[in-house]
Amino acid sequence: MKQASTFALIACAALVSAQAQPYAQCGGSGYTGPKNCVSGWTCVYSNEWYSQCLQGSGGGATTAATRTTTTRTTTTRTTTTAGGGGGVNTGLTTVVPASSGSTTLPSARVISGTFDGGMIKYDRNPKVCQGQTETGEKDAMFILEAGATIRNVIIGPNQAEGIHCRGTCTIENVWWLDVCEDALTLKQSSGTSYVSGGGALNAEDKIVQFNGRGTVQVKNFYANSYGKLVRSCGNCSGNGGPRNVVIDNVVARGGGVLCGINTNYGDTCRISNSCQNSGKWCDRYTGNSNGSEPTKIGSGPDGSYCTTSNVRTSC
């Protein structure tokens, strides 16, 4: 009888350990962990990459403890190959996922390979956000090396530059709670970067600052209270192009245009299956490389540099 009881206890412990804990991940593309949540918690779909254990209607008062740590600047490397997110449909959501904890860093974290944040909220401590004052890469939350991927991350308000990509990068299910200067800065010399899923809130100016060349694709993304979704740099030193912006299945509320491009450098913006609640789609500029304020030459689709397809204002 004692032996049978021991076996029963072991089996019970194994069952509990195989269940996802409160606020933990319980599903998503590439996820191999437990998919059933502990009693009283339900696995709730957020998008194709991430589902999370949230308290169900019959759950108790259990809550997850917030995890707070401080670490030195680190470079994260994995053997996982960064994938091309362009072919993946994450599913658009306008609700910020609940965080699974929080952590602060004193300086930017450098990412090489693939980094999955598990829906932890990351922020800088001490605070480096200075509003629209120009800062730089050192005041970012994450710095991605060429070809790197970051996914399932929430970025807090105390950083200044969000994510900097030194080359092409893939951003999957990343949320900016309160954009400071810019959410994402692209420095690639060529190729395509992908922003798939996720969203950004409270961007006084730009969400994506496109300083490099090549293409950025923004798909299944949510923007709320912002200046511009994507802006080609209008007055960078050594400025040029072309820069191509592809926007698909985006919902944008309470903000400005979805893209600002420099037609004299051959920039293009293609918007499809998207909603901007004020009907603001494109601004066209004459860019320069001397630091002067670029001249705005027009707004709206022109059938050449800026085109739209299946767009709406009811969202």
For the chain, what is the domain count? 2
Kindly state whether residue 64 falls inside one of the protein's structural domains. Answer: no
List the beta bridge partners of residue 246.
217, 270
Q: What is the pLDDT of residue 41?
A: 79
CATH number at residue 221: 2.160.20.10
Kindly state whether residue 69 falls inside one of the protein's structural domains. Answer: no
51 and 117 part of one domain: no
The SS3 assignment for 14 reads: helix
Kindly state whether residue 61 falls inside one of the protein's structural domains. Answer: no
CA 283 to mean position of chain CA atoms: 23
81 and 18 part of one domain: no
H helical segments located in the chain? 2-17
40 and 92 part of one domain: no
38 and 80 part of one domain: no
Query: What DSSP string runs through 111-166?
Result: EESEEEEEEEEEEESS----TTS---GGG-SEEEPTT-EEEEEEE-SS-SS-EEES
Q: What is the pLDDT of residue 55?
A: 66
Residue range of the domain that includes 143: 75-309
pLDDT by position in tens, the chain (length 315): 444 444 444 444 444 458 887 767 888 766 788 889 888 878 887 666 677 777 653 333 323 333 333 333 333 333 333 333 333 335 699 999 999 999 999 999 999 999 999 999 999 999 999 987 878 999 999 999 999 999 999 999 999 999 999 999 999 999 999 999 999 999 999 999 999 999 999 999 999 999 999 999 999 999 999 999 999 999 999 999 999 999 999 999 999 999 999 999 999 999 999 999 999 999 999 999 999 999 999 999 999 999 999 999 999
84 and 32 part of one domain: no
7 and 90 part of one domain: no
- Tokens at 129, concatenated: 């956000």
Burial of 17 (0-12, 13-18, 19+ CB in 10 A): exposed
170 and 250 part of one domain: yes
Q: What is the pLDDT of residue 49?
A: 62
Q: What is the pLDDT of residue 63?
A: 32
List the beta bridge partners of residue 195.
171, 218
